[in-house]
Structure 1
């Protein structure tokens, strides 16, 4: 297993975000982008398993984990701007982006708007849209009733839906701890931004090689979402993990790392789009 180093970067107007770095200096840069209420810890199982061919980075986004918590700036385009600023501050010229869950929204915004900075895009358990999902509206309504913090039992219930099993209890507890760190207002504003945004529009103009990874027991996203992304991004491909839930990289980290490494090798080969 590789060693993880903790560092910090400045994004936006001096906003400080912590990030984890792991892997080998000469490896292909890979930046991991987490979803709502997660943090860099979401990718700890992957960072620990990186092969020599990859050099990984995972940062906690604004309002999440131990990152700064500005009063505003929680729309998808704000998170996307932070992602570009992170690349600039850390000195990453071009990278493979891996976006998980709603983190795939800002990842694909950047892939579409900064193709010179992105060598490829991997989307794991990422929605095509959220406007057609009553469950998300229900979550938004529930979160709207919280004031300072989101109660731990609420987070525990969401976590139980997100995974199907096979995840170490220690990781689950860590991710619950990270989620309850997120102020209720950040949950509320991030959800509002995701539900009000034209998410299908963020799929247009993506020209970089794209790989989708989806668990066929995902309780939040039907297969139709993956097909909609495939239809929107020319040349995109899909890997279906049988028996896996929404957070496939927690349930099958070895396979996810192997598939990312294989994808990175393929897109760097001559003649690959």
Structure 2
């Protein structure tokens, strides 16, 4: 399992709750652009890539966005409802303003044998900022499982 910028839990986190709950159809590209811009990037991503994420976000109906968000905030965290025993790699950007290193270390500690890879110069959207590095680390992790 590969976890990228993953919270220990989203219970009690209401930073985006009001924004999501006010969402109505049609979800506009402007709304998605503003929402995604709330995740600061330590490094630029290609404009076409960001625009593609905006188009994908605008294609999702508001009720689906709300249901996904509510599910993430109300579901029991897997590390509290059972044991994760699959090999796990956690990737996290040290400039992540959403989730802390303490959360990452706690999460890694709750998954037997988990490996935590910190990207010192990345924000929350590690995959966006360093797709090549993420691919390399993922490939190496998966290759070591054989």
Match of 1:68 in 2: none
- The DSSP-based 3-state class of the residue aligned with 1:246 is coil
Equivalence for 2:27: 150
Q: Relative contact order, CA 8 A, sep 6+: which one is greater? A: 2
C-alpha displacement of 1:228:
2.0
- Normalised TM-score (structure 1): 0.50
Distance 2:14 2:23 in 1: 19
C-alpha RMSD of matched pairs (Å): 1.7
Question: How many pairs align?
Answer: 145
Does 1:124 find its partner at 2:4? yes
- The question of 1:170 aligning with 2:48 is answered yes
More strand by share: 1
User: How big is each residue's C-alpha offset from its partner over 1:123-149, in whole Å with a ceiling of 9 and x where there is no partner?
Assistant: 1111110114231xxx22222222213
Contact 1:204-1:233 within 8 A present in 2 as well: no
TM-score between the two structures when normalised by the length of structure 2: 0.89
Counterparts in 2 of 1:1-273, with a 5 A limit?
A: 121-135=1-15, 139-162=16-39, 163-201=41-79, 204-268=82-146
Between Structure 1 and Structure 2, whose CA radius of gyration is higher?
A: 1
Give 5+ residue unaligned stretches, structure 2: none
Distance in structure 2 (CA, Å) of the matches to 1:202 and 1:253: 30
Gap runs ≥5 in structure 1:
1-120, 269-273
